[in-house]
């Protein structure tokens, strides 16, 4: 039985997606949990499931749970958001990637991109290495400014960026 409002489920490593989950939860006055917690929490009572993940090398990460369980939520509203440090990320393309091979599922889901940043302190050693290599390649390719920008931590996230997503969820309540 659906007798509760929205819930936010996030996958985050360096903190940006968790922060966006918190901002969304605050504005919707609803709970937010990590995808690990979602595995052991019954979600069928919630009217709206909002899933957040991170973009790594052009690929949305953190949507395995949703891909696996979406069939269990036929009546719920489902919203996804992806955080990333880039500016040229198209939400429709990201949604296609999240649901590759599951196009029917994608049709009933909406998708948002939320600009974040980079946090070198919380990256794993492998991710730090990938970023350092990318920055070196960018500098060699003449994109020195971008290489410089991506070689250090920055935070371009804002609570204002969640407003469209929050608006969609609020207006869907009948």
Give the binding range for ligand FMN (CB under 6 A) out of 24-32, 80-88, 91-99, 102-110: 80-88
Smaller CB separation from ligand FMN, 105 or 123: 123
Give the binding range for ligand FMN (CB under 6 A) out of 90-98, 102-110, 115-123, 163-171: 115-123
Among 9, 16, 23, 169, binds ligand FMN (CB under 6 A): 16
Give the binding range for ligand FMN (CB under 6 A) out of 14-22, 36-44, 91-99, 139-147: 14-22
Smaller CB separation from ligand FMN, 54 or 95: 54
25 lies in the site for ligand FMN, by CB under 6 A:
no
Smaller CB separation from ligand FMN, 99 or 113: 113
83 lies in the site for ligand FMN, by CB under 6 A:
yes
Pairwise CA distance, residues 50 & 41, whole Å? 14
């Amino acid at each position: 039985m659906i007798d509760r409002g929205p819930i936010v489920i996030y996958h985050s490593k360096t903190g940006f997606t968790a922060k966006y989950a918190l901002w969304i939860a605050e504005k919707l006055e609803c709970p937010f949990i990590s995808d690990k917690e979602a595995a052991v929490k019954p979600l069928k009572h919630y009217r709206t499931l909002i899933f957040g993940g991170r973009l790594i090398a052009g690929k949305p990460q953190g949507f395995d749970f949703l891909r696996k369980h979406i069939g269990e939520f036929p009546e719920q509203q489902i919203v996804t958001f992806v955080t990333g440090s880039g500016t040229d990320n198209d939400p429709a393309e990201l949604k296609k990637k999240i649901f590759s091979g599951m196009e029917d599922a994608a049709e009933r889901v909406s998708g948002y991109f939320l600009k974040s940043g980079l946090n070198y302190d919380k990256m794993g050693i492998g991710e730090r290495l990938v970023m350092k290599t990318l920055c070196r390649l960018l500098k060699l390719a003449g994109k020195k400014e971008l290489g410089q920008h991506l070689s250090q931590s920055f935070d371009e996230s804002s609570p204002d960026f969640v407003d469209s997503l929050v608006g969609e969820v609020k207006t869907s309540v009948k």
